[in-house]
Amino acid sequence: MRIFMHLLKNSNPKIEYYSRFSPSPLSIKQFLEFGRDNACEKTSYMFLRKELPVRLANTMREVNLLPDKLLSQPSVRLVQKWYMQSFVELLDYENRKPEDPHVLNDFLELLIEIRNRHNDVVPTMAQGVIEYKEKFGFDPFISSNIQYFLDRFYTNRISFRMLINQHTLIFGNDTNPAHPKHIGSIDPTCNVAEVVSDAYDTAKMLCEKYYLAAPELKIEEFNMKHPKRPIQVVYVPSHLFHMLFELFKNSMRATVELHENGNEGLPPVKAKVTLGKEDLSVKISDRGGGVPLRKIDRLFNYMYSTAPTPSLEPGAVPLAGFGYGLPISRLYARYFQGDLKLYSMEGVGTDAVIYLKALSSESFERLPVFNKSAWRHYKTSPEADDWSNPSKEPRDASKSKYKANR
């Protein structure tokens, strides 16, 4: 802890300096064109040695606006320590010239080390929120601030890893021989139906492991641009897989739990992939009984998870039990200007729709910026609701003192 406080004290001026800069959002098209046509390690180095500290500093300044009681939790302090260490290590390259033969290789190895250090940021921060909730309970205003922060914090992390992965995959020895046409983590001709099938197969294995059964999958494609041709898009397959795997996992669990004792077997989960002029959409539909409208928003709330605290041991299913699958998946969709929405009919089932930009030139990173607007969000006091709220119990009009005379 003394080392952390020493680092914090010495680095605060630098954090403040870099946080004055706004992150520079890139589009998928820019990522692709640089990696395919103009891949220059020196150029990438010069960009990242400033952009990575800027993105780290923006989120580190925002962390400090969280309630002190949350910041004091051991897991949150550990995450802060990781971020501080990575920031300090990146500062070592602030003035190092790329012409030095050792600089580029050292920088690449550092990025891999930083990426590995941050592997468990999501579950560790989730553990910190659980620690806070167990000690201090649930406060609606603080919950709103934590929701706002975690959406921005995890989006920043997605972007941070995207930059690191592009550099290490293009200029390192991380290239996946199974995907030789990928430009870093981007597939220029990502076959969406294939990713849907891969995510389904992985979720099916998990479902069969726990329930000894799993619903079948039916896929349809509607290609408005090129009818009868498979739908392809320039995208990051790992991001799409992450979203689809989460949706299939939820649909399968709901379907099996509702129909496992029925006589008609398990109704299939349906996937519909469509490509229009602006949007590429993937809809996952199930007949798992649906979710009440009242609970839909809670499914995206980090503070509402009621599952038992999961194990952080290696090999555990990612995010299992934290209730973070859906909100993190929505952040992946929104990261490149898309979205993820749920439409549910209680008693029937749920439709989950992933919206992505059809054009890579419109798929710009959506990045959080630390500024006065963000600061005010944490400092503004909660105001009284200006809409009526129903009481928990129905009102008994017969007991009203204003009861009409008969």
Instruction: Give the residue numbers annotated as catalytic, written as ranges.
Output: 242, 246, 249-250
- The partner residues of 343 in beta bridges, in order of sequence, read 351
Contact assessment for residue 241 and residue 318, using Cβ atoms and an 8 Å cutoff: no
Report the alpha-carbon distance of residue 360 to residue 234 in Å, rounded. Answer: 6
Dist CA 176 CA 179 (whole Å): 6
List 277's β-bridge partners, or say none: none
> For residue 141, which phi and psi values (nearest 5 degrees)?
-70, -45
3-state secondary structure of 292: coil
Quote the crossing angle between the two packed helices 74-91 and 2-19, to the nearest 10°.
60
Q: How far is CA 292 from CA 214, 250, 311, 347, 399, in A?
A: 24, 15, 29, 9, 32
Q: Under DSSP, is residue 233 helix (H, G, I), strand (E, B) or coil?
A: strand
Contact 67, 379 (CB under 8 A): no
- Looking at the chain, the number of H-run helices and the number of E-run strands are 13, 7
Distance CA 294, CA 317 (A): 28
Cα separation of 65 and 201, whole Å?
42
Query: What residues does 355 pair with on adjacent strands?
Result: 281, 339
Asked if residues 45 and 102 have their Cβ atoms less than 8 Å apart, the reply is: no
Cβ atoms of 80 and 128 within 8 Å: the answer is no
Residue 349, classed as helix, strand or coil, is: strand
Percent helix, strand, coil in the chain, to 5, is: 55, 10, 35
